[in-house]
């Protein structure tokens, strides 16, 4: 009887944790040289606290504010 209760508790916890820990859906966008990215080879991408995107490329570091690329 106790083994059955333990089994049900563990199964309930597993189902609860599975729904809580499910992966999130993130919005992503692909930028290319045609969009204004200075180089197709990108080593790193970061976003600062003001929302400015920083790209480390073979051609150097550039920023993108959602409208304009700057080297």
The pTM of the whole model exceeds 0.85:
no
pLDDT per residue rounded down to tens, the chain (71 residues): 567 776 677 766 666 655 556 667 778 888 889 988 888 899 999 999 999 999 999 989 999 998 889 98
Q: Which of 28, 46, 11, 1 lies closest to 63, judged by CA?
A: 46
Tokens of 6: 């333990």
Interatomic CA distance for residues 43 and 34, integer angstroms = 18
């Amino acid at each position: 009887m106790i083994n059955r209760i333990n089994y049900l508790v563990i199964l309930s916890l597993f189902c609860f944790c599975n729904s809580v820990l499910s992966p999130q859906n993130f919005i992503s966008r692909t930028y290319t040289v045609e969009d204004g990215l200075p180089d197709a080879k990108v080593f790193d991408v970061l976003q600062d606290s003001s929302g400015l995107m920083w790209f480390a490329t073979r051609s150097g570091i550039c920023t993108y504010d959602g409208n304009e690329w700057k080297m």
